[in-house]
Amino acid sequence: MSWQVCNPATGEVIVDVPCMGQKETNDAISSAYESFYSWSKLTATKRSKYLRKWYDLLIAHKEDLGQLITLEQGKPLKESLGEVSYGAGFIEFSAEEAKRIYGDIIPATLPDRRLFVLKQPVGVVGAITPWNFPLAMITRKVGPALACGCTVVIKPSELTPLTALAAAELSLQAGIPPGVVNVVMGNAADIGDALLASTQVRKITFTGSTAVGKKLMAGAAGTVKRVSLELGGNAPCIVFDDADLDVAVKGALAAKFRNSGQTCVCANRVLVQEGIYEKFANAFSKAVQNLQVGDGFIEGVAQGPLINEAAVQKVESFIKDAISKGAKVLLGGKRHSLGMTFYEPTVIGDVKSDMLLSREEVFGPVAPLLLFKTEEEAIRLANDTNAGLAAYIFTNSIQRSWRVSEALEYGLVGINEGIISTEVAPFGGVKQSGLGREGSKYGMDEYLEMKYVCLGNMNSN
Ligand code: NAP
């Protein structure tokens, strides 16, 4: 059995790939399990060197990987190249951090004892990733997992498996032994069930929708696996009266329209204070109008297609709901004349908190503007959601930026910045946006078990 991977900009079939299921997943788990012993026993320096070599190869193939991402995912080539640098950064950071996985010595409570804490790899990790960052969502998991001594079975999205396969091939070229990095693709539910059922898989790390994340969390209970979840967001982007207008427009544009609005940290609601609302709405709409839509391979294109027809239909239904409840289309609001899954960059005014655009992730190039009067109201509106991943604030007041950052129930806050993700800082959500953190020194803990060792009878000979 096979299925076709298609270019979302043209609909053309790129290639047929094999459709795997439970049997292939169990084979991959066995291979990861068998490799675990030797991989985890390598010195940290040795693992670090392998990861560094993998990083070098990812960077050496940046152009090819970037083209592959644009081909199967549709984002503009410039963004794809940016994703390769960002994604490879997690491998480089993990190579460095591998050498700094320290334990502890605890002052003993009895004179003839010594107490230690060892950090050891969790074991085989099942990593399930989405289509919107076909490389970075994989390296953000696999880099730290390998650095800690774990082996992995990766399940990329059926929509974007090619980048995953290319990255895995480069891991082999880097000398990482076969069996350490495994990729299975095909029937998501079958693969997911096999990973969940296996007692050899000790951890599931997932990036994707909140609905699937909840299923995996429940499924992991059967074998009491560790779980890390990076789920959906509903990011508020709050523009206060005292913001620098140019900085706010530029920041909101970047936070909203990257990857045509298809990222978990995309501004989903732009909350604008009444004193700057008109000015901001005009300047922002003008900036959005300048975004060139088209095939991501064309120079100058800033907005590629949406991933598929279902994504366009979701955007359409959200806009219909907003208009029926009194919102106004300030710009765009319909499919693009290019056809396929291209959608016009859109700004909607007079959005209210009961509209779908405010309640759920639109995951498309639509910026809903909501008016607020006071700081307290902005915080209340921003926190009025089950999601809690990224939030953005635009203000020139240091006091306000601290006050509001502390009050926001979110895992990441950007102040006067629209793009804040980096491999050196912890990324993750609160509430129903997830569990755990990726990137930075904190991301390593997700792949480590703590073992307490007590050495007793120290006074005997
Ligand atoms: P999705 O539908 O949840 O899919 C994510 C992954 O889960 C894909 O590989 C998918 O496979 C797989 N999957 C689906 N059903 C499964 C099941 N029953 N068992 C095991 N695996 C299953 O999400 P998506 O549409 O690809 O991605 C968009 C979502 O991801 C958005 O909500 C976005 O906010 C979120 N996201 C979050 C972060 C973060 O860091 N918090 C980052 C990026 C994206 P198939 O694709 O093959 O069906």
Dist. CA 82 → ligand 1 center (Å): 21
Q: Which of 17, 5, 152 is nearest to 68 (CA)?
A: 5
* Distance (Å, whole) CA 21 – CA 192: 9
DSSP secondary structure string, 312-369?
A: HHHHHHHHHHHHHTT-EEEE--SB-TT-TT-B--EEEES--TTSHHHHS---SSEEEE
Atom of ligand 1 nearest to the CA of 232: 34
pLDDT in tens, 50-72: 999 999 999 999 999 999 999 99
Pocket lining: 231 vs ligand 1, CB cutoff 6 Å: yes
At position 118, the amino acid (one-letter code) is L
Most ligand 1 atoms within 8 A of CB, residue of 83, 128, 210 to mutate: 128
Pocket lining: 434 vs ligand 1, CB cutoff 6 Å: yes
DSSP secondary structure string, 77-107?
A: HHHHHHHHHHHHHHHHHHHHHGGG---EEE-
Residue 460: the pLDDT is 82
Residue 165: the pLDDT is 98
Atom of ligand 1 nearest to the CA of 438: 40
Most ligand 1 atoms within 8 A of CB, residue of 83, 191, 207 to mutate: 207
Residue 455: the pLDDT is 97
Atom of ligand 1 nearest to the CA of 130: 26
Residues involved in catalysis: 230, 264
- The answer to whether 395 touches 415, Cβ cutoff 8 Å, is yes
Atom of ligand 1 nearest to the CA of 211: 3
pLDDT in tens, 152-187: 999 999 999 999 999 999 999 999 999 999 999 999
Residue 420: the pLDDT is 98
Mean pLDDT of 412-437: 98
Mean pLDDT of 435-440: 98
Q: At residue 461, does pLDDT exceed 80?
A: no
In percent, the amount of the chain with pLDDT more than 90 equals 99
Mean pLDDT of 216-242: 98
pLDDT in tens, 299-332: 999 999 999 999 999 999 999 999 999 999 999 9
Pocket lining: 360 vs ligand 1, CB cutoff 6 Å: no
Q: Which two tokens stand for residue 449?
A: 């078990």
- The answer to whether 201 touches 195, Cβ cutoff 8 Å, is yes
Mean pLDDT of 215-222: 98
Dist. CA 14 → ligand 1 center (Å): 22
Residue 1: the pLDDT is 86
In percent, the amount of the chain with pLDDT more than 70 equals 100
pLDDT in tens, 253-309: 999 999 999 999 999 999 999 999 999 999 999 999 999 999 999 999 999 999 999
Pocket lining: 196 vs ligand 1, CB cutoff 6 Å: no
Residue 459: the pLDDT is 87
Q: What's the mean per-residue pLDDT of the chain?
A: 98
Q: Which two tokens stand for residue 51?
A: 């990861």
pTM over 0.85: yes
- Helix boundaries (H) for 42-160: 44-60, 62-73, 77-97, 136-148
